Structure 1
Amino acid sequence: MSRRRHGKKPTIALWMLVAVADVALLVATGGLVALVLIAASLAIIAGGFVAGRQLLAQQKSNPLAVAQKERADSARRRA
């Protein structure tokens, strides 16, 4: 005679309930954490974007304006 193991199916059901409860707790507590992480990530990305634009603006400065400024500076030194 074959006997079914006692407690096998209820154990799986119990662990499934525990897993569902864990996921529900993570979702409930993760809302605030996710919001803070998203806000921090956006701030870092925005800061990097602004810094990159400033660096590119410095590198792409107008060569004529730089030459004129150098001439003006040298003229002031001579006078």
Structure 2
Amino acid sequence: MAWLWTVEGSVMSLGAAVGGILSERISPQFCLALTAVSIGLGNIVLTIGKKRLSAANRIPTDEEDINAMESNSPTTS
């Protein structure tokens, strides 16, 4: 979990730096438009992903749970 936070924080700081450079060199309106486009693309990705991953969202049966646990349990003799 800590690595996830490290990567997330690094990407956020990189995004803030790039956003500052873009707003200084191009325009703040461009950065605002880029943010709106990014939010729209994120919603599209989530919509497509929701349709593709709906099978993974179902609750497994007891038999499937037992099979998964048996195949992952270490065998000691």
TM-score with structure 2 length normalisation?
Answer: 0.41
Larger radius of gyration: 1
TM-score with structure 1 length normalisation?
Answer: 0.41
Of structures 1 and 2, the one scoring higher in RCO (CA 8 A, sep 6+) is: 2
